[in-house]
Structure 1
Amino acid sequence: MFCISVKQFLLWKKKQLSKGGDNQSLVFLIECIGGISKGDLNFLSLNPENKLYLKKNLDHLESIWHDHLLNSSPIQYLCGITFWRDLKLKVTNKVLIPRPETELIVDIVFNIFGKKSNKFLFAELGTGSGAISIALALAYPLSHGVATDIDQNALEVAIRNYRNSSKQSNLKFFCGNWWSPLESFKGKLDLAISNPPYIPSDTYEKLPKEVKNFEPKIALLGGEDGLKHIKEIIQKAPLFLKEKGWLILENHFDQSEKVKQLLIKNQFTSIEIVKDLSGIGRFTIGRYK
């Protein structure tokens, strides 16, 4: 542990923000690497003469902040972790950093299946860090889930996150493209979920460099119109879902109506476009027959 005065620390923090960046990212760095929680940071100025104990010294924190500012490296990758719902997840550049808006997928599942007492079988296609599947496995301890990813490196991150987050054994992981590892689950799933790559090619080229230069292209690029992977998932979903089974998809802000039509074409009913907290049609859900 490294001991400094609160006054010295606050001056250091002010100096770092004067170089650029945003307060939220710096607070994230201080919490993850320095070991000072966001809540504690808010009250430091009340007692500037107090002592503060850091897990890493200020030079170390400053070097990470410098990398973040100089290269636009995402602070989550530099810290090696991120927070999502009530989970603390390991992240590397092999997985997409899970976004806050994606947290609503879990709430959509709550609306459909209720709370813990329900027992069902779910699959997540393209799990990345494992965030969605782990949250559901924890929320529904009587249920069982399977999660797939085409990248074994991403899958290893997800498996480690599950082991760090839970002592349960109700979630299994399979390597492969979309439905391909799940042949033994045909006709058995109550629920399938995916946050697939859905960024159109021309939009991908215009993404901020902190996304385009660091996050895995395979987890972002959805073909020319952004719907390449969504089409495949929807077309094959009826083979794996039970009758009355649900499919939940995250999509680009302007794709919901097209996704809705694809669901109708593939015999889905009870179709609904669910808006995120910004009022954007971020999710499209449907029930098979």
Structure 2
Amino acid sequence: MPSISVKEFLFWKKTQLSKGGDHQSLALLLDSIGGISNSDLNLSRIKSSDNLYLKKNLGYLESLWDDHLLNSSPIQYLCGITFWRDLKLEVTDKILIPRPETELIVDIVFKIFAKKSQKLFFAELGTGSGAISIALALAYPLWDGIATDIDQDILEIANKNYMNCSDKSNLKFSCGHWWNPLESFKGKFDLAISNPPYIPKETYEKLPEEVKNFEPKIALLGGEDGLKHIREIIQKAPFFLREKGWLILENHFDQGEKVKQLLIKNKFKSVEIVNDLSGVGRFTIGRYK
């Protein structure tokens, strides 16, 4: 295991940040690949005479950092992990990197259901890394959930993420297109959630290269108007939700009103557009009848 003095390491770190990038991305690289956490670094500053022990040498870490800076490679893919809420999740380039704004979906659920003790049954359509479903399964251990995805390889990673975060068994995974794997649960769900592909085709072509060139197109592109998948999910939701069951959707910043009308057209009540922390109408929610 390579070792380095604290002074030398801190100089190396400063040099890397002088090239560009941000502290958080470099911290992710150092923690996941180098084996040096922020708490390790803070402690080392106190004991500056000690050496640090790395999982990988500085040359290798620097090569990954340079790849991130020069080629716009997402640091999460280079590291194979990402942090979301209080979860540490494995990701690959087949999985959309879960965004900080999506964390608010969990807070919306908390607001609707509070910390109720009764058992509820929820579904997440298009789970990706499993982030949303895992967060809910941990917060509501009495609930049962099923998370779906169209790709079995992705589901295996989501399941692995769940097992790494929990010793419970209140979350299952099922492979297929949106509602299709849930045919045997029609009329059973108290809550359904989805962060589907919603980027309109024209907007997709203009996305930053670190997104467009690396993240999976299938998880981003929502057809010509961005509403292809949202439309399908809403239209079929009444067959799967219980009466007064909730549907929570993430959508593009300018789609809230259109999604709201789709929900109303399909007999949803208490329909509301919920803003993210930037004041953008990022989520649309409704209760079935």
Q: Sort the TM-score into its range (normalised by shorter chain).
A: over 0.9
Q: Quote the residue 1:107 is aligned against.
A: 107
Distance 1:183 1:110 in 2: 27
CA displacement at 1:48 relative to structure 2: 4.0
3-state secondary structure, aligned to 2:117: coil
Distance 1:283 1:87 in 2: 22
Larger CA deviation: 52-61 vs 234-243:
52-61
TM alignment of 1:111-130, pairs within 5 A: 111-115=111-115, 117-130=117-130
Larger CA deviation: 212-221 vs 272-281:
272-281
Residues 25-47 of structure 1: CA deviation (Å, up to 9, x unaligned) = 11211122122222443565555
Q: Quote the residue 2:181 is aligned against.
A: 181
Amino acid of the structure 2 residue aligned with 1:93: D
Amino acid of the structure 2 residue aligned with 1:37: S
Q: Quote the residue 1:69 is aligned against.
A: 69
Distance 1:145 1:270 in 2: 23
Is 1:136 the counterpart of 2:112? The answer is no
Distance 1:48 1:2 in 2: 17
Q: Quote the residue 2:35 is aligned against.
A: 35
Q: Does the aligned pair in 2 maintain the 1:6–1:50 contact within 8 Å? A: yes
Residues 216-256 of structure 1: CA deviation (Å, up to 9, x unaligned) = 10000001111110000001000000000000000011111
Residues 186-217 of structure 1: CA deviation (Å, up to 9, x unaligned) = 00100000000000001101111111111110
Larger CA deviation: 138-147 vs 192-201:
138-147
3-state secondary structure, aligned to 2:107: helix
3-state secondary structure, aligned to 1:218: helix
Q: Quote the residue 1:257 is aligned against.
A: 257
Task: Specify every segment of 5 or more residues in structure 2 that has no aligned partner in the other structure, as ranges.
Answer: none
Q: Quote the residue 2:267 is aligned against.
A: 267
Q: Percent identity?
A: 79
3-state secondary structure, aligned to 1:15: helix
Q: Does the aligned pair in 2 maintain the 1:199–1:221 contact within 8 Å? A: yes
Number of residue equivalences: 289
Amino acid of the structure 1 residue aligned with 2:206: K
Distance 1:138 1:22 in 2: 30
Amino acid of the structure 2 residue aligned with 1:225: D
Residues 175-194 of structure 1: CA deviation (Å, up to 9, x unaligned) = 11100111011001000000
Task: Specify every segment of 5 or more residues in structure 1 that has no aligned partner in the other structure, as ranges.
Answer: none
Larger CA deviation: 10-19 vs 238-247:
10-19
Q: Please report the RMSD computed on the Cα atoms of aligned residues, expressed in angstroms.
A: 1.4
Q: Does the aligned pair in 2 maintain the 1:116–1:142 contact within 8 Å? A: no
Is 1:279 the counterpart of 2:263? The answer is no
3-state secondary structure, aligned to 1:183: helix
CA displacement at 1:278 relative to structure 2: 1.1
Distance 1:105 1:244 in 2: 19
Please give the TM-score of this superposition, normalised by the length of structure 2: 0.96
TM alignment of 1:1-289, pairs within 5 A: 1-42=1-42, 44-45=44-45, 48-115=48-115, 117-289=117-289
CA displacement at 1:114 relative to structure 2: 1.4
Larger CA deviation: 1-10 vs 47-56:
47-56
3-state secondary structure, aligned to 1:161: helix
3-state secondary structure, aligned to 2:4: strand
Q: Does the aligned pair in 2 maintain the 1:116–1:141 contact within 8 Å? A: no
Residues 146-197 of structure 1: CA deviation (Å, up to 9, x unaligned) = 1111111211111111121111111111111100111011001000000000
3-state secondary structure, aligned to 1:127: coil
Please give the TM-score of this superposition, normalised by the length of structure 1: 0.96
Amino acid of the structure 2 residue aligned with 1:224: E
